[in-house]
Structure 1
Amino acid sequence: MNHPRSVEEIAEDYRARREGLLRALTEDVEKFWSLCDPDRENLCLYGEADGQWKVDLPEEEVPPELPEPVLGINFARDGMQRKDWIALIAVHSDAWLMAVAYYYGAKLDKEGRQKLFKQINSIPTVYESVTGKVKSANGSKATKKRKVTEPTADREPKAQASSKPLGIGRLLTQNDVNLDLRGRQAELFWPDDNLWYLIEIQNVNVRQNQARIMYTDGSTEELELEEIIRDGHMSLITRD
């Protein structure tokens, strides 16, 4: 298994694992709840590098390949208010995410660690998202500079969208920002809706790091790509 080494790779790993944990505590919370049977042994919640999550026993290997999440999350499930239990798991999930990121980043220099923390700190924590301390579950900051011509940003979703990416693409990177993006199909995540919208990239301003996109309902939007890339909010559909 190749571990992430650069700041960008570690930050992307953090975002993917966070996405999995957040899904477990929000979208898949009923399934997560049912898996955390207090009659079972010590269980842990893991966020996977591919954006998935799992509830499982701790690793038997000592020391483990990665820092372990908090043990025994299932034991308190029926002894607390449900929302308080979810919030507690979220806090421990944030601590685990930081532990994994800095485990990978142990060999970074001072500037690298500062850059890594800045990227991580720009994203709402799992706790903030789960408890509503931020506007949306996956961080509304990326939408602040968006300008939708029609319909408005608080519209009812009418464009083609889904709760999960289609699975036929990859996250947009800064290296992708060039004129070849024009005409490409992609999916754009809206934190306020918690949905992935199918879009077409109409134009790209490489110098200003901006793109004009069109939804399937014909509405258009100007995007600040730096934030979109940083927060992992665009999946570029790969060509055959």
Structure 2
Amino acid sequence: MDGDQQSNPRTVEEVFRDFKGRRAGIIKALTINVEEFHRQCDPEKENLCLYGFPTEQWEVNLPAEEVPPELPEPALGINFARDGMQDKDWLSLVAVHSDAWLLAVAFYFGARFGFDKADRKRLFNMINDLPTIYEVVTGMAKKQAKEKSSASNHSGNKSKSNSKQQGSVSQGKYTKTLQLRDEDDDGLEEEEDEEHGDTLCGACGENYASNEFWICCDLCEKWFHGKCVKITPARAEHIKQYKCPSCSNKRARP
């Protein structure tokens, strides 16, 4: 595909960056851009595949014509099942196959450029530290993160963190930003980082970092990087009820 023409990773770090870019593109298709993805997967068309590119973009297209193709191909014919399943089940099925495809592409590069046992293990561990696309799409990643901390600890830590954060919890709006701390706040910082470290972005599926702006959807209660949903801290201050792209699309859809 056109988006792959410039991709030729040769080191473990380069292959991992390639993996993350493709993964981010597919997650966008199955979450943020789900309405457009649904529209493009017309069952009346020929066998279609979902491609993710290193540039964090996605594309629904026909499979490569050459046999064998330059890279492993995604699952074929994802459009045919679109109207025969519940949307959430169809998206979950595409997510599972996309996870398998991403691993195939990553280890294709590993084989092509002669990664040894140590490199293959390191690459797998780097990939395995990220939640799968399936976990992000189905909400399992968020559920697993919640199970790691008890409800009592979460409540206690949240109340402590509110007094230190530049963001606020008001009118259903909660933003995570850089914190103003002095030397006496080191213990609180570690406590907050431990609590929020398992929080995952509903768009890209990556972990919370204390130096990033986050916002929570008031409907599905998923957290998002501000950059992933194009919301700035200044804009968030004027939003009374934030609805993520997926929830906005659901409400608009007949």
The structure that has the greater radius of gyration is 2
Q: How does 1:1-240 map to 2 (within 5 A)?
A: 1-106=6-111, 107-135=114-142, 149-151=164-166, 156-157=173-174, 193-196=223-226
Percentage of pairs with the same residue: 51
CA distance in structure 2 between the partners assigned to 1:98 and 1:131 by the alignment: 19
CA distance in structure 1 between the partners assigned to 2:19 and 2:77 by the alignment: 23
CA distance in structure 2 between the partners assigned to 1:114 and 1:17 by the alignment: 20
8 Å CA contact 1:43–1:73 kept in 2: the answer is yes
CA distance in structure 1 between the partners assigned to 2:134 and 2:54 by the alignment: 19
Aligned to 1:226: none
TM-score after normalising by structure 1: 0.63
Superposed structure 1 runs of 4+ greater than 2 Å apart:
151-160, 186-193, 195-198
CA distance in structure 1 between the partners assigned to 2:138 and 2:87 by the alignment: 12
8 Å CA contact 2:99–2:134 kept in 1: the answer is yes
Aligned to 2:184: none
Residue type matched to 1:115 in 2? R
TM-score after normalising by structure 2: 0.59
Q: Shift in Å at residue 187 of structure 1?
A: 6.7
Q: Which has the higher helix share?
A: 2
8 Å CA contact 1:69–1:93 kept in 2: the answer is yes
Residue type matched to 2:74 in 1? P
Residue type matched to 2:224 in 1? N
Q: CA distance change for structure 1 residues 91 and 36 in 2, over 3 Å: closer, same or farther? A: same
Structure 1 gaps of 5+ residues are 141-146, 165-185, 199-214, 218-240
Secondary structure in 2 matching 1:95: helix
Q: Shift in Å at residue 193 of structure 1?
A: 2.7
8 Å CA contact 1:190–1:197 kept in 2: the answer is no
8 Å CA contact 2:51–2:74 kept in 1: the answer is yes
8 Å CA contact 1:159–1:216 kept in 2: the answer is no
CA distance in structure 1 between the partners assigned to 2:214 and 2:57 by the alignment: 17
CA distance in structure 1 between the partners assigned to 2:19 and 2:214 by the alignment: 17
Q: CA distance change for structure 1 residues 2 and 40 in 2, over 3 Å: closer, same or farther? A: closer
Residue type matched to 2:117 in 1? K
Residue type matched to 2:165 in 1? E
The size of the alignment, in residue pairs, is 173
CA distance in structure 2 between the partners assigned to 1:58 and 1:129 by the alignment: 25
Secondary structure in 2 matching 1:96: helix
Secondary structure in 2 matching 1:100: helix
Offset from partner CA, 1:29-80 (integer Å, 9 cap, x none):
0100010010100000000110000000001122111100010000111111
Q: CA distance change for structure 1 residues 216 and 82 in 2, over 3 Å: closer, same or farther? A: closer
CA distance in structure 2 between the partners assigned to 1:2 and 1:30 by the alignment: 28
Offset from partner CA, 1:182-237 (integer Å, 9 cap, x none):
xxxx9767795323359xxxxxxxxxxxxxxxx956xxxxxxxxxxxxxxxxxxxx
